[in-house]
Structure 1
Amino acid sequence: MRRDDFTGPADLRAMQSMCSRLWSPTSRFHPGQLAWSRHHQPVPARGTTADEAISLWREGGDVVGFGWAEAPDWLEAQVDPAYPEVAEELVDWFEEWSDAAAQSVLVMEGDVLEPALLAAGFVPETDAPHFAHHVLDLAGLADVPSVEGYRYRHVEPLEAASRAACHAASWSDVSPSRLTTEAYAALMSAWPYRADLDWVAVDAAGEMVASCLVWLDPATGVGLVEPVGCVPAHRGRGLAGAVTLAALHRLRDVGGRLAVVSPRGDAGYPGPRRLYRSLGFRPVARTVTWHRSLTE
């Protein structure tokens, strides 16, 4: 067993391989989630940004656990259940790296990390905002509805600028998007991105106004929906659901068997959850935030 700090794309790919090998509806990460998390903002070609840290635990040539401190007060992690000893090392590593007075860790309910978190003084916040994993068997996929004045198509390889602008405009009322043309171009080069699974709705002028990105893991046949958005001026027409269905039909055409999506599961942000359930997605698992304060 050895621990290595994150160095770049090869390590991200190794982390994705672990997620693919372990994937189930109750797993924390799909390989596509790691690609999106890494590239939804500009990042250095090598290593990490100044305010984050990523570390990998390996047994032989395989990653069996990783911690991704997105900030000193926030950790995301996944550990192979066959290696529970990694969980304690991972929590210790985060404590050594972080200088935050309060720290939070997001894991799945019932995760192998829970005993190590409890031993380190973290407590679960079951009423805090959380994400709910939803799945959809693609065999029962609904038809794609038409919306007058719009059509659906997949993104072309040289459309990073337009695609990034569509995403940024769609999320502008939630928080300022950090996604740039350069970041989206890097995302399009990352595994397992496929342009034929990156779908948009365009208006009569050809402008992208809604989008759905699906990540297919060919080893499992599972496609992750992440993210979906619609430009505010075009909302209320059903475009977000329609473009998602268009992308899911393509996912099924290329061999996908199951789709997964993880909207908020709490009452604080119910819109996306309602949308996905209207398409047939059903909840199967949820995340829990564990928190500790080092000043109390």
Structure 2
Amino acid sequence: MPTARRDFAGPDDLRAMQAMASRQWSPTSRFHPGQLAWSRYYRPVDPDLLDEGESIAVWADEGQVVGFGWAEAPDWLELQVAPDRPDVAEELVEWFEEISDADTQSALVMEHDVAEPALAAAGFVAQPDVPWFTHHTLALADLTSVGPVDGYRFRHVEPHEARERAAVHAAAWSDFGPSKVDEGAYRQLMTAWPYRHDLDWVAVDDQGRMVASVIVWLDEATGVGLVEPVGCVPEHRGRGLAGAVTVAALLHLRAVGGSHAQVSPRGDDDYPGPQRLYRSLGFRPTARTVTWTRSLE
């Protein structure tokens, strides 16, 4: 059966994309299944429909996904292709050319990704100095606990706490503008694989209010938990809460069978704080992303 392309048709396709990400996972691969869940459901969305201007296509061989392209907007492409399928990479880049009418187009891939030759052949040029991300990993056997933070305790989220959980995320990320995460979106996120409420952790103050948070997405097939996202509300920063709540969640990840953790902070010098935090917890860099761009003007 030849490789077949299909347009995204809902949750079953997302699950197939996540299955591919799980099969292909390594410290240098582009996606963890949890990243795909977060990217799909962090804002209110119809599970069966894409946003205006958004496109997703999936390539399958004998029923198994071997590549997918996710054009979050006409000028921005995210993708993953099986390392042994450069032919799919070529088709994927051609597909993006067909669906995009942007004068400037960009694609984000891992450095040395199988798609890089296809991007270069289509006129894209690597931009190694624009903002980029670095995958970091940590063997959970090496994780050490952190001491208590006076005035706070750490616990996992309960299924009925979607409103409060969405609110602490939105407050933590308010520096970047109004968050799209609301109660409805978070309820939907809580139903998405591989979300687990026992791996969704918060720091609460002495009045029981959530003030910092982290989700860890465990892929049981690989034993790897992705840390995404982490945040602390502005008025409680500077007390070590982001790191402490992350460690609390990772200790639980280890207790339920996880072997490694991954996180992907910015790697460039313009936003160094998160990378410093994760390295202080024992995470070490493995591979980085590169943005490829072309102009049609």
Above 0.5 in TM-score? yes
Amino acid across the alignment from 1:27: S
- The equivalences for 1:6-45 within 5 A come to 6-45=8-47
Amino acid across the alignment from 1:253: A
What RMSD over aligned residues (CA atoms) do the two structures have, in Å? 0.6
Q: What is the match of residue 123 of structure 2?
A: 121
Q: Deviations over 1:209-259 (max 9, x none)?
A: 000100000000000000000000000000000000000000000000000
Q: What is the match of residue 143 of structure 1?
A: 145
Specify which of 163, 166, 169 is matched with residue 167 of structure 1: 169
Specify which of 248, 273, 276 is matched with residue 246 of structure 1: 248
* Distance in 2 (alpha carbons) for counterparts of 1:105 and 1:140: 35
| 2:262 counterpart of 1:268 | no
* Distance in 1 (alpha carbons) for counterparts of 2:125 and 2:42: 30
SS in 2 for 1:173: helix
| 2:293 counterpart of 1:291 | yes
Report the CA distance between 1:152 and its aligned residue.
0.2
SS in 1 for 2:175: coil
* Distance in 2 (alpha carbons) for counterparts of 1:124 and 1:45: 33
Report the CA distance between 1:144 and its aligned residue.
2.8
Report the CA distance between 1:60 and its aligned residue.
1.0
Specify which of 215, 227, 230 is matched with residue 228 of structure 1: 230
Specify which of 62, 65, 70 is matched with residue 64 of structure 2: 62
SS in 1 for 2:131: coil
Q: What is the match of residue 200 of structure 2?
A: 198
Q: What is the match of residue 259 of structure 1?
A: 261
Amino acid across the alignment from 1:70: E
Q: What is the match of residue 183 of structure 2?
A: 181
* Distance in 2 (alpha carbons) for counterparts of 1:34 and 1:136: 21
Paired residues, number = 295
Report the CA distance between 1:47 and its aligned residue.
2.4
Q: Which of 136-145 and 233-242 deviates more?
A: 136-145
Q: What is the match of residue 101 of structure 2?
A: 99
Report the CA distance between 1:176 and its aligned residue.
2.0
* Distance in 2 (alpha carbons) for counterparts of 1:93 and 1:152: 46
SS in 1 for 2:167: helix
- The equivalences for 1:72-87 within 5 A come to 72-87=74-89
| TM-score, with structure 2 as normaliser | 0.98
Report the CA distance between 1:142 and its aligned residue.
1.2
SS in 2 for 1:3: strand
* Distance in 1 (alpha carbons) for counterparts of 2:23 and 2:68: 14
Amino acid across the alignment from 1:131: F
Q: Deviations over 1:111-139 (max 9, x none)?
A: 00000000000000011110000000100
* Distance in 2 (alpha carbons) for counterparts of 1:12 and 1:160: 22
* Distance in 1 (alpha carbons) for counterparts of 2:47 and 2:202: 28
Report the CA distance between 1:188 and its aligned residue.
0.3
* Distance in 1 (alpha carbons) for counterparts of 2:157 and 2:64: 34
Report the CA distance between 1:262 and its aligned residue.
0.1
* Distance in 2 (alpha carbons) for counterparts of 1:202 and 1:98: 45
Q: Which of 208-217 and 171-180 deviates more?
A: 171-180
Amino acid across the alignment from 1:168: A
* Distance in 2 (alpha carbons) for counterparts of 1:246 and 1:164: 20
* Distance in 2 (alpha carbons) for counterparts of 1:222 and 1:7: 28
SS in 2 for 1:127: coil
Q: What is the match of residue 6 of structure 2?
A: 4
> Percent of counterpart pairs with the same letter?
69
Report the CA distance between 1:61 and its aligned residue.
1.1
Q: Deviations over 1:21-74 (max 9, x none)?
A: 000000000000000000111111212111200000000110000000000100
| TM-score, with structure 1 as normaliser | 0.99
Amino acid across the alignment from 1:220: T
Report the CA distance between 1:268 and its aligned residue.
0.8
The runs of at least 4 aligned residues of structure 1 exceeding 2 Å deviation read none
* Distance in 1 (alpha carbons) for counterparts of 2:8 and 2:181: 22
